[in-house]
Structure formats: C-alpha cells, structure tokens
Structure 1
Amino acid sequence: MKICVFGAGAIGGYMGAKLAQVGADVSLVARGPHLSAMRANGLTLIEENATTNVAVTVSDDPADLGPQDYVIVTLKAHSVPAIVGKIKPLMGKTTTIVSGVNGVPWWYFHKVGGALEGTRLESVDPGGVQWDGFGPDNVLGCVVYPAAEVIEPGIVKHIEGNRFSLGEPDGSKSERATALSKVLTEAGLKAPVRPKLRDEIWTKLWGNLSFNPISALTHATLDVLCTDPATRLIARNMMLEAQTIAEKLGVRFPVDVDRRIDGGAAVGAHRTSMLQDLDAGRPMEIDALVRSVQELGRITQTPTPITDTVLGLTQLRARVAGLYP
C-alpha cells in the first residue's frame, strides 16, 4: 500500500513519521527549509516518551512519487484548491483522496441524500475546483484530532492526541476505509471508521468556528475566552447558531454547548491555530471554519447574526494584516 502525505507540516509530519516508524510505504510532499532538512537529516519526531528519527521519502514535486493508493491531504483548507492540479500525478485509477482538512469539507453534500445532494460550497471550494478535480467518489473523510508543531525544520513535536477518525460520505464501512484504518492503527494511531463522520465534523467545528476567530480578535488564550463572561457568551451564541444549522442537516451532537465550552477552558492557556497564524503572518482559515457556517446558514435558511458579526470583524482584522483577500 502506497501512501503519500501531501502537506507534511506539523500534522502531516506527525502522521508520516508514525507510518515510517513501522515501515509503511509512505512518502511526503513538503517545501522550503522543512523539505531541505528532511532530505538531509530525516524527520525527527519528539513525543512525550521518546524522540525518534526516520529516513523519509520526501519531495516538493509529486511527479517524483508516482501514483498512490492513498493521498492524505493535511494542508490548511484555503491552500487546497491551488494544489489540485499538483496532486494529479499522485492519482491512479483507484487512488483515494483522504481529506484531513479542518472545517466543513468540500465534499459535505456528496451522498448525503435529500434535496441538498450534490450541493457545492463556494466558501471552501471556490468554483468547484476540488469537486471537479478530485471527484467526490474518490474522497474519504477524515477528522484530525492531534496537536503538533514544527519546532524547527525537520523536527515535529507531538503535543497531544492521536486520533484520525475516518468515514465514507455515504457512511458505509468500505474496504478502502478499513484498510487505511488498519495501517494507521499499526502505526500506533487511533483510526476508527465512523458511520456518521459528519457528526464528528460538527463537534470539532463547534469549537473552531467560535474559539478561533474570537482569539484572533482578542488575543486571548482558550482558558480566558471560555471563562470571560462576554467572550463566553459570544462563543455560546455562535455555537447555538451552528447547532441549529447542523441539526437541520441531520447532525446530532454528543454534548451540550456549555460542556463543549468547558472542555475548551480545560485545555488551558492554549493559543488557537488562527491566533498563531495571525501572529506569524500566515493566512488564516477563516473561510473553512467560519464563512462555511454562514453559507450553510443561508442554504438552510437559518439566521446567523452573531456568526456574521464575528466573521466580518475577523475578515477585516485579517485584511488589515494582509492575510486575507
């Protein structure tokens, strides 16, 4: 089984290193100093109980790697449309694209059934580039839970979590899903195959759509924004708007809003990914995490006044910083 991790930064590097440790046929697509360091010195993974270094096959040109059985995309959501053409050399007749990207996925309405079947989301897939380029039948969903960071080129530090939930758009327990689950499990990762992956997508998105933009606007860490009365209320109202949308789409949440916010507070003084990107001058995942919820509100005829307000403020904050078109 040939596996290519496209976007071998923190999360992709963590997964790639774990697969390489058990001898899987894995290759990585990376760029810049991180690529150069891995070529010269291999990939170093720092975990709580061990630091390991593995030799990895890595390139910035997918044509060097050839067709794969699985291409696991671990880029930020806004980066994916631009690289659809670059992934083509990795795709054979039976290649599965594993969408390990935050937020509402571009394939959300594939095989969902009902009146919205086949609906395309402009906020996460402008012009249908991914839908047309990858083909929704070739996609396997993935909800990514680990936290990791590239602490210097070629060195990835794992912070917490090791679950990559997998799921077919139609909810079936397919051979391709179970085969990938087995390989990831052998690498020491948790990779359950979920019949209702969209429920997990929304449970994770619930926090991301609120905590991330609020932190970017206030520079507050999770423990602060989840306990300060004003920001907690804003997050709660955004989450309730999202819950209304999701439940109209058939989603069921395993916990209530306040418990989810308390879970965020329990993480402690964590700076969200959107705040980290803002501080580092990197593009922010505004569209996949927030604008997608606004678009789904329009589709389901659900008012989203608090989400609209926070979205507008966050977009302007990012534009002022030169990080959003």
Structure 2
Amino acid sequence: MRYGRTVRWIIYGAGAVGGVVAGRLAGSGQEVAVVARGAHLDAIRRDGLTLRQPGGDTVHRLESYGDPAEVDRRPGDVVVLGMKSMDTEDALRRLEFDGPVVCLQNGVVNERLALRRFPRVYSVCVMLPSAHLAPGVVEAQCAPVPGILDLGRYPGGLDDTVASLSEGLRKAGFHSQPRADVMRWKYRKLIMNLGNAVEALCGHVDGLDEAVRPLREEGEAVLRAAGIPFVSAAEDAERRGDILQLRSRRDGGSSWQSLARGTGTVEADYLNGEIVLLGRLHGVPAPANETARRLVVEAARRGTPPGSLTPERFLEVVRASGR
C-alpha cells in the first residue's frame, strides 16, 4: 500500500481521539469518513464535525455513517478503530473489511481482538490530549502539535502500510514515527493510563500523584512478572520531550470525561483490569488497581460525577483491600 490521494481514512469511533484525528486529516486535504452514533452522529450530519483547537475552530463536512456496513468499500480504504476498549468486540463484529485495521486506542487488548478477525492489524501509541463533551464537537488541547501517534504492525514489525499511514499523520500535523516494537510503547502508555480511574474519581487535586503512584508501581511489577517488555519512563519522557504543549484547560482524561458526560461506562476493565488479570495469572497481587477499577466502574454505573472521592480516602480503601 502506498500513501496517496486514493487513500480514505474510515474513522470508526469519532470521539475525542478519533474525532480530532478525523478533523486534522480532513483539514490537511485527506479523504475521511466517520462512523459514529447517537446525537454525535446527528450533529455531524447536520452541522459538520467541529474541531476546536487553540488557534481557532474549524468545521469539516465528512461522509458520516451510523454503521460500518453502510460504508461503500473502495480500494485503499483504511479502517481506524477509535472507540473505547469495552466497545471494540461489538464494533468488530459489525465490520466486514479486507484492508488494514488500525487500533487508535488505549489499552493492549484491542489489537488481539482485531487480529482474530483481520490479518492486517496496526497499532498506534496514542499521546493526544483531547476532549469530547458535546455532540458534534471535539477538542485538540495541544498546539502547535496536537499529538504524537507512533505506529507499527501488530504484533510487531514494519511494512509499506506503516510508512504510508505515518506519512499521512505527519501531513495532518501529528508527530508520528514507525515503530517495529510499538507494543513496548503501548505497555508504557498502559502504565500511564492506570491513573485515569483515580483522576476520574478524585479530580485534579493535591495528593493525586500520591494516590496514583501505587497503581503504576503495581503495573510495572506485574508486567515484569509476566515477562512483557515495556519502555522505561525515561524513554517515554525523551520521546515526549516538549512536543505536547497544553494550550486549553484540561479537566481530565477519557475516564474523567466519561463520568462527566454520564455515559454509564468507563474503560477501566481494560486498563486497570488488564493489570489485575495479568497479576492473577502470574501470582502478583494488584489491590490498588483492583480498587480503582471497581470504584470507577461503580461510579460510572451510578452516574456519580467526577471528583467525588479524595485521594486520601482512595488510599484508605486500597490499604483496607490489601489486608
């Protein structure tokens, strides 16, 4: 596959991350279609997709569909999965496709699910501060570079498709490097994302870092016990450098936004829950991650708003769970 004007990006799940990528790709002159749902889809069809950026808003009139079966297939199509991990399996059941499938998602389970059904699966390590709090509107919160989207083939390696997709992302303003070992980077991102649940429960308050620390320490211990390689915090910091400059107010990440929007679900089962699962498989306790997973899932189910718990109280519950 060679990158060119015949390539069409089909963004399947156009929320915070998928929507920002769709808007940036379209704004750079690339062909884009989106698959969305509910009020978000209605707003995109009616008013276009509004991409809010520090330099000003842009509106993109995109091909928009409610189901991937509605999309007319063309040579050169690439399907990009942008939904949260708890929605991936159902989304894949609806997808009939013989081209490249790209996982533009946090967590490490999506690629494996996709590879069961599709032979050409690609993985993106997503570093893209963004938001989706209103139908038809997504927000890129960093400028001038909106995000870092390194990618490779799953489970490993590089090919012409990786080079083509990376070129397209760079044309859209992202930093993007082909990486044969992209999953090492995604496991580091998983460790970083373990704090999402606590951020959603507690908000950005004093003591948050202390509350998150045991989750990440558990995560690293579990991955080592499982023999799963991951890049170091120093490597991750070097890659990020000063590329991502936050220019908009950021109340919270994806789990915080899920509680704020009252979606009823969060993806903690596939972030903290991944560490819990691996810990149980390899005999390493992970009480902090299990506590965070349980509490944020309950908060989402009950419609509890973000910031309803203090970091001190969270740590008390963790200590009690480890007795």
TM-score normalised per structure 2: 0.78
- Residue 292 (structure 2) aligns with: 310
Deviations 1:223-242 (A, max 9, x none): 53435xxxx1x422221121
Quick one: structure 1 residues 4 and 206, their matched pair in 2 at CA, closer, same or farther if it must change by over 3 Å? Answer: same
Provide the C-alpha distance between the structure 2 equivalents of 1:47 and 1:279, rounded to a whole number of angstroms.
21
User: Which of residues 65, 68, 81 in structure 2 aligns to 1:62?
Assistant: 68
- Residue 221 (structure 2) aligns with: 244
User: Which of residues 4, 15, 38 in structure 2 aligns to 1:9?
Assistant: 15
For the 8 Å contact 2:200–2:252, the answer to whether it is kept is no
* 1:252-267 mapped onto 2 (5 Å cutoff): 252-255=231-234
CA RMSD of aligned residues (A): 3.0
- Residue 103 (structure 1) aligns with: 107
- Residue 220 (structure 1) aligns with: 203
- CA shift, 1:276, in A, is 2.7
- Secondary structure of 1:172's counterpart equals coil
For the 8 Å contact 1:99–1:139, the answer to whether it is kept is yes
For the 8 Å contact 2:148–2:175, the answer to whether it is kept is yes
- Residue 143 (structure 1) aligns with: 125
User: Which of residues 36, 41, 48 in structure 1 aligns to 2:54?
Assistant: 48
* 1:1-325 mapped onto 2 (5 Å cutoff): 1-67=7-73, 69-88=77-96, 91-92=97-98, 95-107=99-111, 130-132=114-116, 134-135=117-118, 137-160=119-142, 161-209=146-194, 211-217=195-201, 219-221=202-204, 223-227=205-209, 232=210, 234-247=211-224, 248-255=227-234, 270-282=251-263, 283-321=265-303
Deviations 1:204-232 (A, max 9, x none): 222221x2222343x331x53435xxxx1
Structure 1 spans left out of the alignment, 5+ residues: 109-124
Provide the C-alpha distance between the structure 2 equivalents of 1:170 and 1:104, rounded to a whole number of angstroms.
11
- CA shift, 1:176, in A, is 0.9
Deviations 1:150-180 (A, max 9, x none): 3543232211242212122243221111111
Quick one: structure 1 residues 320 and 57, their matched pair in 2 at CA, closer, same or farther if it must change by over 3 Å? Answer: closer
Deviations 1:3-57 (A, max 9, x none): 2000112221111111112221211111223222222332222211232222211
Provide the C-alpha distance between the structure 2 equivalents of 1:192 and 1:256, rounded to a whole number of angstroms.
14
- Secondary structure of 1:190's counterpart equals coil
Identical-residue share of aligned pairs (%): 25
Provide the C-alpha distance between the structure 2 equivalents of 1:86 and 1:182, rounded to a whole number of angstroms.
29
Q: What one-letter code is carried by the residue in structure 1 that aligns with 2:203? A: A
For the 8 Å contact 1:102–1:144, the answer to whether it is kept is yes
For the 8 Å contact 1:274–1:285, the answer to whether it is kept is yes
Stretch of structure 1 that moved more, 194-203 or 312-321: 312-321
Provide the C-alpha distance between the structure 2 equivalents of 1:306 and 1:41, rounded to a whole number of angstroms.
44
Structure 2 spans left out of the alignment, 5+ residues: 1-6, 306-323
Q: What one-letter code is carried by the residue in structure 1 that aligns with 2:216? A: M
Q: What one-letter code is carried by the residue in structure 2 that aligns with 1:292? A: E
Provide the C-alpha distance between the structure 2 equivalents of 1:31 and 1:319, rounded to a whole number of angstroms.
20
- Secondary structure of 2:125's counterpart equals strand
For the 8 Å contact 2:200–2:256, the answer to whether it is kept is yes
Which portions of structure 1, spanning 4 or more consecutive aligned residues, are displaced by more than 6 angstroms? 266-269
Provide the C-alpha distance between the structure 2 equivalents of 1:80 and 1:17, rounded to a whole number of angstroms.
22
- Secondary structure of 1:3's counterpart equals strand
